[in-house]
């Protein structure tokens, strides 16, 4: 399937029913937070509840502003312990406020836990008789490697084929921000973005490509300064039709 027209921009609900009847949008539940069930030791012949098996990108993980205020002292105390463990003196002038600064910064780096996709999209989904490819590329992305707690940064390219509904363009960048501002691995981040758009719009297809530099590979470990990691998730016609997929990949590199 080829498309003669494209809409491109460069940047500088479908609700399912959960097993207990709660509404879910890409893992974000209205009301009580859903956690994976803790399985008790199994009796011979017993089966684990399937509801306890959830992929990590579907888990609800939220944090409120009140949680931030309550946890800030303990986070700052933890950074004080880290400074001492590194052989530093937390009482010297240059480090007196460092634990609080670091704790506040870490809360900002992970502020995606405080937001829900359903709140961000609100009334930004519009009925529109448009069925040609929409692409927003070069969306800046900053995240934190969940293995080493060091930065991941790069660009995200998003494309979708509308199915009578379109999303406000800035909301695509907001979706990236919500999922990137968490402790992440790039593979999961890429999939979360694609699934969120699919659940919100029910488009014909979605494609997401993430190109990123991982500081855990640059400033430690193998120390490869110019290495980049590229991940992609293709859903719907982007996965099924090679011509549509190739069109998307060609356009994000133009």
pLDDT tens digit sequence for 51-84: 333 344 444 557 888 888 999 999 999 999 999 9
Residue 250: which of 135, 162, 153 has the closest Cα?
135
pLDDT score of 231: 98
DSSP structural state of residue 201: H
Rounded Cα distance between 216 and 150, Å, is 6
pLDDT (average), residues 95-123: 92
Active site (annotated) includes residue 43: no
Terminus-to-terminus CA distance in the chain, angstroms?
Answer: 20
Rounded Cα distance between 88 and 154, Å, is 32
Is residue 48 predicted with pLDDT exceeding 50?
Answer: no
Is residue 22 predicted with pLDDT exceeding 80?
Answer: no
Rounded Cα distance between 238 and 251, Å, is 13
**Which of 55, 59, 132, 147 does the annotation list as catalytic?**
147
Active site (annotated) includes residue 216: yes
pLDDT score of 248: 97
pLDDT score of 183: 96
Predicted confidence band of residue 221 (pLDDT cuts 50, 70, 90): confident
pLDDT score of 164: 93
Rounded Cα distance between 144 and 185, Å, is 8
Give percent of the chain with pLDDT exceeding 70: 76
Q: Is residue 98 part of a domain?
A: yes
Beta-bridge partner residues of 214: 152
Residues 109 and 121 in one domain: no
Phi, psi of 249 (to 5 degrees): -65, -35
Mean pLDDT of the chain: 82
Residue 248: Cβ-neighbour burial (10 angstroms; 0-12, 13-18, 19+): buried
**Which of 107, 199, 214, 247 does the annotation list as catalytic?**
214
pLDDT score of 178: 95
pLDDT score of 49: 35
pLDDT score of 50: 32
Q: Is residue 6 part of a domain?
A: no
Classify the C-alpha dihedral 194-197-198-204 as positive or negative: negative
pLDDT score of 194: 97
Residues 160 and 239 in one domain: yes
Is residue 112 predicted with pLDDT exceeding 50?
Answer: yes
Residues 149 and 238 in one domain: yes
**Which of 115, 186, 199, 247 does the annotation list as catalytic?**
186
Residues 98 and 191 in one domain: no
Residues 167 and 210 in one domain: yes
pLDDT score of 61: 57
Active site (annotated) includes residue 192: no
- Cα 136 to the chain's mean position, in Å? 16
Cβ-Cβ contacts under 8 Å for 72 (sequence gap 6 or more): 100, 103, 104, 107
Residue 217: which of 227, 205, 230 has the closest Cα?
227
Domain membership of residue 133 as a residue range: 117-253
Residue carrying the six token digits 């890429």: 190
Structural domain total, the chain? 2
Rounded Cα distance between 204 and 198, Å, is 9
Active site (annotated) includes residue 223: no
pLDDT score of 14: 40
**Which of 60, 114, 148, 211 does the annotation list as catalytic?**
148
**Which of 69, 128, 132, 146 does the annotation list as catalytic?**
146
76: number of Cβ within 10 Å:
18
Is residue 151 predicted with pLDDT exceeding 80?
Answer: yes
Active site (annotated) includes residue 148: yes
**Which of 28, 145, 157, 177 does the annotation list as catalytic?**
145
pLDDT score of 170: 94
């Amino acid at each position: 399937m080829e498309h003669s027209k494209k809409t491109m921009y460069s940047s500088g609900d479908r609700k399912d029913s959960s097993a207990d009847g709660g509404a879910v949008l890409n893992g974000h539940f209205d009301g009580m937070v859903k956690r994976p069930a803790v399985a008790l030791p199994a009796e011979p012949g017993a089966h684990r509840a399937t509801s306890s098996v959830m992929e990590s990108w579907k888990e609800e993980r939220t944090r409120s502003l009140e949680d931030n205020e309550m946890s800030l002292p303990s986070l700052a105390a933890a950074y004080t312990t880290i400074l001492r463990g590194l052989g530093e003196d937390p009482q010297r002038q240059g480090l007196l406020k460092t634990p609080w600064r670091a704790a506040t910064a870490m809360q900002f780096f992970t502020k995606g836990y405080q937001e829900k996709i359903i709140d961000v999209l609100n009334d930004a989904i519009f009925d529109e008789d448009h069925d040609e490819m929409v692409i927003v590329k070069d969306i800046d992305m900053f995240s934190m490697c969940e293995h080493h707690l060091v930065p991941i940064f790069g660009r995200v390219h998003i494309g979708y084929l509308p199915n009578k509904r379109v999303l406000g363009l800035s909301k695509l960048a907001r979706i990236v921000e919500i999922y990137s501002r968490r402790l992440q691995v790039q593979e999961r981040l890429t999939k979360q973005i694609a699934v969120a758009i699919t659940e919100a719009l029910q488009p014909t297809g979605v494609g997401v490509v993430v190109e990123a530099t991982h500081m855990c590979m640059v400033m430690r470990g193998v120390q490869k300064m110019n290495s980049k990691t590229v991940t992609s998730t293709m859903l719907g016609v982007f996965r099924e039709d090679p011509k549509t997929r190739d069109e998307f990949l060609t356009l994000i590199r133009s």
